[in-house]
Amino acid sequence: MVIILKENPDPNQLENLLSWIKEQHVTPHITHGLHQTILGLVGDTAKIDIELLGQMEIVEAVRRVQEPFKNANRKFHPLDTIINVNGSKIGGNSMTVIAGPCSVESEEQIITVARSVKESGAKLLRGGAFKPRTSPYAFQGLRDEGIRLLLEAKKDTGLPIVTEIMDLSQLELFADVDVIQVGARNMQNFELLKQLGHSDKPILLKRGLANTYQELLMSAEYIMAFGNDNVILCERGVRTFETYTRNTQDISAIPALKTLSHLPVIIDPSHAAGVARFVPPLSLAAVAAGADGLIIEVHNNPACAKCDGMQSLTMPEFRILMKKIKVMTDARELCSSITE
Amino acid sequence: MVIILKENPDPNQLENLLSWIKEQHVTPHITHGLHQTILGLVGDTAKIDIELLGQMEIVEAVRRVQEPFKNANRKFHPLDTIINVNGSKIGGNSMTVIAGPCSVESEEQIITVARSVKESGAKLLRGGAFKPRTSPYAFQGLRDEGIRLLLEAKKDTGLPIVTEIMDLSQLELFADVDVIQVGARNMQNFELLKQLGHSDKPILLKRGLANTYQELLMSAEYIMAFGNDNVILCERGVRTFETYTRNTQDISAIPALKTLSHLPVIIDPSHAAGVARFVPPLSLAAVAAGADGLIIEVHNNPACAKCDGMQSLTMPEFRILMKKIKVMTDARELCSSITE
Amino acid sequence: MVIILKENPDPNQLENLLSWIKEQHVTPHITHGLHQTILGLVGDTAKIDIELLGQMEIVEAVRRVQEPFKNANRKFHPLDTIINVNGSKIGGNSMTVIAGPCSVESEEQIITVARSVKESGAKLLRGGAFKPRTSPYAFQGLRDEGIRLLLEAKKDTGLPIVTEIMDLSQLELFADVDVIQVGARNMQNFELLKQLGHSDKPILLKRGLANTYQELLMSAEYIMAFGNDNVILCERGVRTFETYTRNTQDISAIPALKTLSHLPVIIDPSHAAGVARFVPPLSLAAVAAGADGLIIEVHNNPACAKCDGMQSLTMPEFRILMKKIKVMTDARELCSSITE
Amino acid sequence: MVIILKENPDPNQLENLLSWIKEQHVTPHITHGLHQTILGLVGDTAKIDIELLGQMEIVEAVRRVQEPFKNANRKFHPLDTIINVNGSKIGGNSMTVIAGPCSVESEEQIITVARSVKESGAKLLRGGAFKPRTSPYAFQGLRDEGIRLLLEAKKDTGLPIVTEIMDLSQLELFADVDVIQVGARNMQNFELLKQLGHSDKPILLKRGLANTYQELLMSAEYIMAFGNDNVILCERGVRTFETYTRNTQDISAIPALKTLSHLPVIIDPSHAAGVARFVPPLSLAAVAAGADGLIIEVHNNPACAKCDGMQSLTMPEFRILMKKIKVMTDARELCSSITE
């Protein structure tokens, strides 16, 4: 951490600042410039409150050198985290596909889709029970009943299930859910994150549509700081000025997050694209760029889906896509063996 | 609502679509073009699920003509909503200033600031008890104790209080709070919004940093659809590419939201600016553009504030600003009387 | 095109509007709603001035159904455009790699790099002679001399050359250049685009960092409307809130632009990433998503490059990447043959 | 400037770096940390190429402390620059209004508008001769003839004229123009900026719709570095996710640019709003926030304007607005006299 002081800092204030810094168990090194004095802090600066520093009267600016996250930081955990979900391993250069409908609509629907995606090669089943919808007049999900139906589908197929929590008060309904999803709109619902930190279930944490990598990793840090290390990062597209696609898939998030962190990174091409016909190219791109997994919306009858039908693949489309993903995963492995 | 069909739509599918439309209690009018067929829907389209329509096979695109919000819509409620908070009226071309520290830190601090801002002319006291912080290692607020201290300050000064709720589970602590604030990160925490819709307390709803006016108004609609019409809209700056200020104050939000909706609009220049020295010009601009109020951070000792000190005014700075706000409010009234 | 009229439009104004519409050689169809009257325009609306319409007193809003571009529109030219550059074909599911240094620095440098990238499999040589730099104090390129050196490298290796024009006045220096690049900052330099429309050279048109697909295609339309159909679209990353990468590579641009237009689409992973180590994954992702080509920065000594060295691959790194691109292109072809 | 080195930097490379730094006439100060070594550079770092530094192998990151612009920097020129345009002074807390139509359409039109805006109190006349339009099919301006008509209007009314240049080749037509405007799309047309640096005419430089303050000031620096200090900065709205307004007026740009630079700052509310009814509140907000001037579109018959009619005020609307601007300017002066 580097602190740039204002011109001609008051000596008493400087002394106070230096004492404060020492109380944080880091060591300051001073550089006196013509116009500016710079303090370099040496030690563990992750827990220093950068805002507090920034507002001190003699401080012009503070620049972090080290990232403000620690548990999620690859620097301190060089090896890939691999998360075990009922035998499926997410992370470490494998390719795990999670598939299922946007919303659970009926027992028949979820079991039909679950059996089909399993046969095509999906390792986990997704499905929304609690649905965050922009309009209060839109379908809000089957809620408790939706969770029950997902568990039926799990019993029927053996697929572990992934579903979204929208509020702390729903937590006990998730007792038998395998992976709890935190949606993009809740990425900074810190009370929820803290509570999930006390759980030991894997958390699928989606990036907010205008949040940075660092903010995503700070939200992962919330969960990890309270004791739960099983965090899966999910990139689902960011908001840009482009309106032709629903969001813009940030493909760089894959190598970038894997550089910054040891956590697995999966991609949600369905929400990024917003239209089914762009889901296959975005899925293949994610594989090529090194994603650890994909979460894809599949519906038995997209034209009648209660939400997000436009972006859902049909079951046959998904089967074909899985074959292509296999080809691309093999190519990726071949590529990683080319070193000269 | 206008539905654009794909070229050569299947007649059976078209018939199905027309029946579905009639079930929604709206009337379709067809225009056959050379390349396209267009359906104009006439009637109350606010409750039609635009996504469901969009995903039908014969539909190329759907364009709304009417806004998807109804309770919050000025078209159906032409008169300004005026919200009465213990005698202070917010809305209807008055100018209400809410002031106080970012966080409640101690009884002495909150009472000192409350007395001072009251004397300077503030009508409500703000102060954070539950603090949403990006880092789990940053100060998280005094929580329950913070609410208790705010109520002490209310008792001491008579100022109604405004404070932020972060989770449904905190709701009963807010029984004696006068205005409940929903922060920018929770603007789309729909479970929270629904529950606040069952309350009758005024809700100060902050715009998310990458959300549109329509999304903000849809979140207001959530609260209103569940029965609570006392919503105050708050613009607190949007995220842009500019990093010199913390966020970018969207001054157009004032005339725009007041055109779209009858709800009061207040501005938070402190979070928009991120630095205290820009708070006065942004405040005066908001007054000139027609805001119904301002919410301003004031601290007895900004350099030692536990959060957001950089953007807090000192008590004397706030006193001076209030005098300028008075001048500017008078000028605004004079302006509104100039009609030729 | 759909025109939504204000409530109770004045009958004379409506009649005037209908006459004006007929003068544009399109036919209006009217739908009278409860609150609104809607006109659907049938015919070739690409040349109708949407702004002019929007400002008429009785018009509430205008929504385009058809895209405002025609020459660049796949609807009117269903087959892929394939552009022949001295025997190299760009477009139509081939994979063409353009490589070379950010800036031409010396004869030795450009010839060394040209020979190396040719040997690794690049089909065209890139290199900047005129450099758009944010700071007037940064290296501005070798200019005329840079063009001369590129032509030397072309003579030596036989590789066609791609280089950027920054102003109309430079045009005659480009007489022997094979592909003229228009940079992101000049995407809407309309005087330049018009003039390039009178040329018959292929134009590599880069998307501006905050421009939409439609704006990019309108800029292509400028060139095509003046007679030059040889336009290659280039996605080079858009500006987002993320600062860890220089820009954000918009991978969806590949399927989206290829849906909207028949023009070839190439990707510039170097400017999108801004750091060399992300260039390989972004390149492979672009291949997987169906790009027609890549333009990659390669330098003989990145650490001493006069600009953009941070994002340049070394010559050996490029050789390895080309092998991976080959693997990925084969996988892509295999994928495209999987249809059930 | 602060340079953060990678862990365990190679001693030879470090020595090379230190020599290079000394050649730049600045002095390095070293701080050795546990994980990192930091170099603080002392001296005039404005001309150091930050990219070159960043790409050196031993460098992890470079952070600027000083701004990279010098001529435009208030630190080195504390007093406000005041630009004299035929007797009208722009800058230094005065309020100058520039008004006129988006495009010059005919002699009668421009003279009618010029006389009217002069009578209402405008000090300069604006009008577009060369028009940058997104579509090649839209009206492109009267070009040479437009300049001629503006000069007629100047002769008739005595108002100095402001008009936009789109390309270097047009420069000699601007011999009698008083202020040359560089549009938002040309803000980084560096060849044009350099040439304007050799002129002595005032330049009205508009901020690009996705550019930062620093980028705007670097473009001003281009003009100033080549000898022309008469630069007027113009904020005309930035692109955000909001589509209800054409752009988003960045009101913070006023205090921010005036903090960073000594150049005058004017606001264009017409392009920011995109609709006439929001122009008055945005204008008054700009006055309240301390703008040095406004540039406002006024048309004799907006409904028939050849471009941007939707955002143009009528002549009577402008007359009323000027009265309000007067009231608001007086209030601003009164405010600035309140110091306790």
Q: What are phi and psi of A142, to 5 degrees?
A: -80, -10
Q: What does residue D21 show for φ and ψ, rounded to 5 degrees?
A: -60, -45
Q: Which SS3 state, helix, strand or coil, does residue B30 take?
A: strand
Helix (H, G, I), strand (E, B) or coil at B12: helix
Rounded to 10 deg, the angle between the C279-288 and A315-336 helix axes is 140
* Partner-chain residue, chosen from C249, C290, C324, that has the shortest CB–CB distance to A251: C249
Tell which residue, D67, D218, D209, has the closest CA to residue C238: D209
Rounded to the nearest angstrom, the minimum Cα separation between A32 and chain D is 8
Q: In which residue ranges of chain A is pLDDT below 70? A: 33-36, 65, 307-308
Under the banding of pLDDT at 50, 70 and 90, the label for residue C26 is: confident
Query: Is D65 part of the contact surface with chain C (CB cutoff 8 Å)?
Result: no
CA-based Rg of chain B, rounded to a whole angstrom?
23
Strands, DSSP E only, in C155-219?
A: 161-165, 179-182, 203-206
DSSP three-state, residue D304? helix
Choice between B46 and D152, residue whose per-residue pLDDT is larger: D152
Point out the residue among B36, B42, B63 whose CB comes nearest to the CB of C34. B42
For the cut 70, the answer to whether the pLDDT of residue C36 exceeds it is no
Mean pLDDT lowest among C51-65, C80-94, D57-71, D276-290: C51-65
B55 in Cβ contact with A309 (< 8 Å) = yes
The predicted structure's pLDDT at residue B23:
82
- Does residue B47 surpass a pLDDT of 80? no
Report yes or no: B40 and C63 within 8 Å, Cβ to Cβ. Answer: no
**For residue C63, pLDDT beyond 80:** no
pLDDT of residue B8: 79
Report whether A80 contacts A265 (CB < 8 A): no
Identify residue A44 by its one-letter amino acid code: D
* Cα(A132)–Cα(A237) distance, integer angstroms: 17
Indicate the pairing of strand C26-32 with strand C37-43: antiparallel
The pLDDT of residue B124 is: 98
ipTM: 0.91
Q: What is the mean pLDDT of residues C139-162?
A: 97
Question: Which of C116, C320, C284 has the alpha carbon at shortest distance from A340?
Answer: C320
CA D165 – CA D169 distance, rounded (Å): 9
Q: Give the span between the Cα atoms of B5 and A336, in whole angstroms.
A: 46
Distance CA A152, CA D59 (A): 56
Side chain identity at B307, as an amino acid letter? C
Q: Which residues contact D166 (CB under 8 A, 6 or more apart)?
A: C189, C190, C191, D130, D132, D183, D186
Q: Which residues of B touch D240 (CB under 8 A)?
A: 238, 240, 248, 250
Q: Tell me how far apart the alpha carbons of residues B259 and B77 are, in angstroms, rounded to a whole number.
A: 11
CB atoms within 10 A of CB B77: 15
Chain C interface, best mutation among B65, B134, B246, B259, by max C CB count within 10 A: B65
Chain centroid to CA C254? 11
- Dig out the tokens for C222 from the structure: 């400028």
Output the pLDDT for position D50. Answer: 77
Phi, psi at C223, each rounded to 5°: -65, -45
Nearest to B256 among D210, D259, D278 (CB): D278
Per DSSP, the residues of C211-235 read --HHHHHHHHHHHHHTT---EEEEE
pLDDT for the residue C30? 80
Task: Please list the residues that pair with C339 across neighbouring strands.
Answer: none
What pLDDT, on a 0 to 100 scale, did the predictor assign at position D82? 97
Give the Cα separation of B75 and A335 in Å (integer): 60
Task: Report the alpha-carbon angle C285-C289-C295, nearest 5.
Answer: 60
**Interface contact A185, partner B, CB < 8 A:** yes
Cα angle B302, B303, B308; round to 5: 60
Q: Are B147 and B174 in contact (CB under 8 A)?
A: yes
Average pLDDT, chain D: 92
Give percent above pLDDT 70 in chain C.
Answer: 98
End-to-end CA distance of chain C: 38
| pLDDT at position C160 | 98
pLDDT band at B36 (very low <50, low <70, confident <90, very high): low
* C58 within 8 A of C20, measured Cβ to Cβ: no
Rounded mean pLDDT of chain C?
A: 92
Q: What is the pLDDT of residues D218-245, one digit of tens each?
A: 999 999 999 999 999 999 999 999 999 9
Mean pLDDT of D119-132: 97
CB contacts, 8 Å: A307 with chain B: 51-52
User: What span, in angstroms and rounded, lies between the C-alpha atoms of D299 and D316?
Assistant: 10
Residue C121 identity: G
SS3 A88: strand
Residue B295: strand, helix, or coil: strand
Do the Cβ atoms of B175 and B201 come closer than 8 Å? no
Q: Which residue in B has a C-alpha nearest to residue D287's C-alpha?
A: B285
Q: Which residues in chain D have Cβ-Cβ distances shorter than 8 Å to B335?
A: 284, 324, 327-328
Residue bearing the bigger pLDDT, B29 or D81: D81
Substitution target from A188, A215, A251 for chain C, most C beta carbons within 10 A: A251
Burial of A52 (0-12, 13-18, 19+ CB in 10 A): buried
pLDDT at B33: 64
Helix, strand and coil content of chain A, in percent to the nearest 5, comes to: 40, 20, 40
Evaluate if residue D151 carries a pLDDT over 70: yes
pLDDT at A34: 59
Place of tokens 């038995």: A300
Where do the H-state alpha helices sit in B24-87?
50-54
Mutation to test the D interface, candidates B241, B252, B319, most D Cβ within 10 Å: B252
Task: Tell me the pLDDT tens digit for each residue of B77-130.
Answer: 999 999 999 889 999 989 999 999 999 999 999 999 999 999 999 999 999 999
Question: D47 falls in which pLDDT band (50, 70, 90)?
Answer: confident
With an 8 Å Cβ cutoff, are D132 and C188 in contact?
yes
Chain B residues with CB inside 8 Å of A306's CB?
A: 52
List chains adjacent to chain D, taking adjacency as at least 3 C-beta pairs closer than 8 Å.
Answer: A, B, C
pLDDT band at B9 (very low <50, low <70, confident <90, very high): confident
Task: Give the C-alpha separation, A209 to A259, whole Å.
Answer: 21
Q: Measured between CB atoms, does D74 come within 8 Å of chain A?
A: no
